[in-house]
Amino acid sequence: MHPAIPRLIDLQTIDLKIAGLRAQLEAFPKRIMALDHKLTDARAAVASAKEAHVNSAKERKKFELDVEQWKERARKYRDQSGSVKTNEAYKALQHEIANAEAEVAKAEDRQLELMMGSEEIDGRMRHADADLKEAEASVAADRKEIEVQYGAKKKELAAATAEREKAVAPIPADMVTLYDRIAKRHNGHALAQVKDGQCKGCGLRVLPHILQLLTEDHDDEEVFRCESCGLILYSLEPLTAVNPDATSGNAASVTTT
Ligand SMILES: [Zn+2]
């Protein structure tokens, strides 16, 4: 095994942890935004209920005035009907009175409808207010919790970054370059363990003589990469675990240069 491989394995573990922490940190603004949305929605519901309440009150006022106006007109026609000279004029006034009374009834009906509707609107307002209060409380608590989590993840990331600096320092520069290049292409993975004679990166069977070289305890400068997935191979198993019948598949050997 290349002497740098145990250090590269550690480095990969740290790098995967760093990548995981970064992904988690990137998700935080979205979580805060979701909280803001919750508040915006609750506030919009309150505003809309209030608007409905104001409009309903305005309409009720309008029909109230209509009722008064039509009643006033009917009264006027009735007063006039006592002093008309002709039967025709009297009939015409009676017709106007009936019309005005019908308008009064219509406006009163609308008033009643609005009154009944206003109960529902008042209920809506109460609900929206209660929902907003609840949302404000839960959002404040969630925000605090998220901020605590964010701070903790930031600290973990700082620690992991420091750990990486320490881990990478003793590794030869050419090995780090190779590692970085492979890791970039494989979602942070540069090394694959060989287990039961197979590359754990892709499942390809590793040739017996490569397996032997991987498991032997000598510090040569050769690095073996899987021919299929390209990851740097390493083995933590004793040689006896190898299936001697394995004949398919192969692995190429490359040097770091
Ligand atoms: Zn592979």
192-216 pLDDT per residue, tens: 999 999 999 999 999 998 988 888 7
Tell how far the Cα of 248 is from the centroid of ligand 1, in angstroms: 14
Q: Which of 35, 22, 248 is nearest to 140 (CA)?
A: 35
DSSP string, 34-101: HHHHHHHHHHHHHHHHHHHHHHHHHHHHHHHHHHHHHHHHHHHHHHHHTT--SHHHHHHHHHHHHHHH
Strand partners, 234: 193
Tell how far the Cα of 253 is from the centroid of ligand 1, in angstroms: 12
Rounded CA-CA distance 127/53 in Å is: 13
Tell how far the Cα of 29 is from the centroid of ligand 1, in angstroms: 37
Find all residues with CB under 8 Å of 74, minimum gap 6, and list them. Answer: 97, 100, 101, 104
12 and 190 Cβ atoms separated by less than 8 Å: yes
> Strand 222-225 to strand 252-255: parallel, antiparallel, or no bridges (unpaired)?
antiparallel
Rounded CA-CA distance 228/214 in Å is: 17
- pLDDT score, position 219: 66
Tell how far the Cα of 134 is from the centroid of ligand 1, in angstroms: 54
- 59, amino acid identity: E
Mean pLDDT by 10 residues, the chain (257 residues): 90 97 96 96 97 95 95 94 89 94 95 92 96 97 96 98 97 96 96 95 93 78 91 80 45 47
Tell how far the Cα of 230 is from the centroid of ligand 1, in angstroms: 6
Tell how far the Cα of 3 is from the centroid of ligand 1, in angstroms: 21
Tell how far the Cα of 20 is from the centroid of ligand 1, in angstroms: 23
Tell how far the Cα of 197 is from the centroid of ligand 1, in angstroms: 11
215 and 241 Cβ atoms separated by less than 8 Å: no
Tell how far the Cα of 16 is from the centroid of ligand 1, in angstroms: 18
